[in-house]
């Protein structure tokens, strides 16, 4: 109890004292308090919960101001709340060992993969680093918990043959236009369903999309996509402003789930494995890098903040590695 009290006093004074003064304060508190018996008053548990919720709310507000999407904020909130519930401690008293044990138990009990655990670690690091920067705690307990090492998995891309088979097997002009838009622009499916008719510049074969955090960027499509998109729009009889709508009346804006279901059913019918929207994006990145597009331009095309993310999306063609080896080395 004495250790906890000393820690709380130091945290409350951290914003106005230097490191040297904090060390002196610590020695004085240890000297005068260690032989005392100290007990909490009733109601402290309620205060702890209220304070935790207050700090979490402030953190989420800060992330919202920074431009975090609603989806990310929901994920942050659920992840941090789960940790606080499991540890059942005041945020100020959470230690590195507490968090290590929490992550270890989470992985073992839920049989969770390393990527998920590292995502949780990253969110907790963001939360406690913010608390440290705002002087709510002395030091983030996540500092000494390093990035979780994960194996590199080479994810699949669509072959040229698979792309043509999917195009030839589309049952509607809409589905053909969707496949062309995803494959030629590399846009996210969430960006695709937000597009309106007026957003498309057919003359310049380009459009502006709003990515994560509502960040705006320009993407481009090829001549084939332009033709198929125009054919689809000319076939429509509705007045909906959305670029892509449901096939059935009342022809409302198509949602992400609608695109995913359509592609999944197409893949199942054609016996093509893992047909989903994101695979078009990865295929475009791989082809662009494979054909020599500078990685910085691929990064801009995909709307990535960090170039490391772009590199993770792309898989270098092994045949080109072999040809380059013969050209430059053997």
Whether residues 256 and 179 fall in one domain: yes
Residue of higher predicted confidence among 2 and 123: 123
Q: SS3 string of 227-243?
A: HHHHHHHHHCCCCCCEC
- The candidate with the shortest Cα–Cα distance to 279, out of 257, 268, 264, is 264
Cβ(188)–Cβ(217) below 8 Å: no
pLDDT in tens, 63-102: 999 888 888 899 999 999 999 999 998 898 899 999 999 9
Q: Is residue 29 part of a domain?
A: no
pLDDT computed for residue 57 by the predictor:
95
Q: Is residue 170 part of a domain?
A: yes
pLDDT computed for residue 63 by the predictor:
93
Q: Is residue 25 part of a domain?
A: no
Query: Domain of 256: which CATH number?
Result: 1.10.443.10
pLDDT in tens, 50-60: 889 999 999 99
What average pLDDT does this structure show over 221-225? 96
Residue of higher predicted confidence among 293 and 120: 120
Pairing assessment for the beta strands 206-210 and 200-201 based on DSSP bridges? antiparallel
Total domains, the chain = 2
Whether residues 219 and 305 fall in one domain: yes
Residue of higher predicted confidence among 321 and 162: 162
Whether residues 172 and 259 fall in one domain: yes
What average pLDDT does this structure show over 25-40? 75
- Which tokens hold the place of 244? 């892509």
What average pLDDT does this structure show over 92-113? 91
- This prediction has a pTM of 0.68
Whether residues 105 and 228 fall in one domain: no
Whether residues 208 and 85 fall in one domain: no
Q: What is the mean pLDDT of the chain?
A: 87
Confidence of residue 10 (pLDDT cuts 50, 70, 90): confident
Domain termination site, one of 133, 150, 172: 133
Domain termination site, one of 133, 149, 171: 133
The Cα-based distances of 210 to 13, 14, 121, 220, 255 in angstroms read 44, 41, 28, 14, 15
Neighbours of 9 (CB within 10 A): 14
Whether residues 62 and 165 fall in one domain: no
Compute the residue count for the chain: 330
Q: Is residue 17 part of a domain?
A: no
CA distance 327 to 330: 6
Domain termination site, one of 133, 151, 173: 133
Whether residues 178 and 66 fall in one domain: no
Q: Is residue 18 part of a domain?
A: no
Query: Domain of 116: which CATH number?
Result: 1.10.150
Owning domain of residue 105? 40-133
Whether residues 103 and 201 fall in one domain: no
CA distance 118 to 96: 15
pLDDT computed for residue 267 by the predictor:
95
Q: Is residue 82 part of a domain?
A: yes
pLDDT in tens, 167-202: 999 999 999 999 999 999 999 999 999 999 999 999
pLDDT computed for residue 158 by the predictor:
93
Whether residues 307 and 239 fall in one domain: yes
The answer for residues whose C-beta is within 8 angstroms of residue 103's C-beta and 6 or more apart is 117, 120, 121, 145
- Which tokens hold the place of 245? 């709508």
């Amino acid at each position: 109890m004495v250790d906890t009290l000393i820690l709380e006093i130091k945290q409350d004074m951290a914003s106005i004292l230097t490191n040297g003064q904090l060390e002196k304060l610590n020695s004085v508190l240890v000297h005068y308090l260690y032989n005392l018996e100290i007990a909490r008053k009733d109601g402290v548990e309620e205060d702890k919960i209220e304070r935790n919720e207050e700090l979490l709310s402030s953190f989420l507000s800060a992330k919202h101001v920074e431009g975090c999407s609603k989806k990310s904020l929901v994920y942050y909130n659920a992840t941090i709340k789960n940790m606080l519930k499991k540890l059942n401690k005041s945020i100020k008293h959470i230690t590195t060992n507490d968090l290590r044990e929490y992550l270890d138990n989470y992985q073992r009990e839920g049989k969770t993969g390393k990527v998920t655990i590292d995502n949780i670690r990253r969110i907790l690091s963001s939360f406690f680093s913010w608390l440290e920067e705002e002087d709510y705690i002395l030091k983030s307990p996540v500092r000494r918990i390093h990035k979780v090492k994960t194996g590199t998995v080479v994810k699949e891309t669509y072959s040229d043959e698979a792309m043509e088979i999917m195009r030839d097997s589309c049952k509607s002009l809409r589905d053909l236009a969707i496949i062309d838009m995803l494959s030629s622009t590399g846009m996210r499916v969430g960006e695709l369903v937000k597009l309106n008719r007026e957003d498309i510049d057919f003359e310049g074969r380009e459009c502006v999309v709003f990515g994560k955090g509502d960040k705006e960027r320009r993407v481009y499509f090829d001549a084939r996509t332009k033709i198929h998109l125009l054919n689809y729009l000319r076939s429509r009889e509705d007045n909906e402003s959305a670029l892509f709508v449901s096939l059935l009346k009342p022809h409302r804006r198509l949602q992400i789930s609608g695109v995913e279901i359509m592609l999944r059913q197409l893949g199942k019918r054609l016996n093509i494995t893992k047909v989903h929207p994101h695979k078009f994006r990865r295929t475009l990145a791989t082809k662009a890098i494979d054909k020599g597009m500078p990685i910085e331009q691929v990064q801009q095309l995909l709307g990535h903040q960090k170039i490391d993310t772009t590199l993770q999306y792309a898989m270098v063609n092994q045949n080109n590695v072999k040809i380059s080896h013969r050209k430059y080395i053997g």
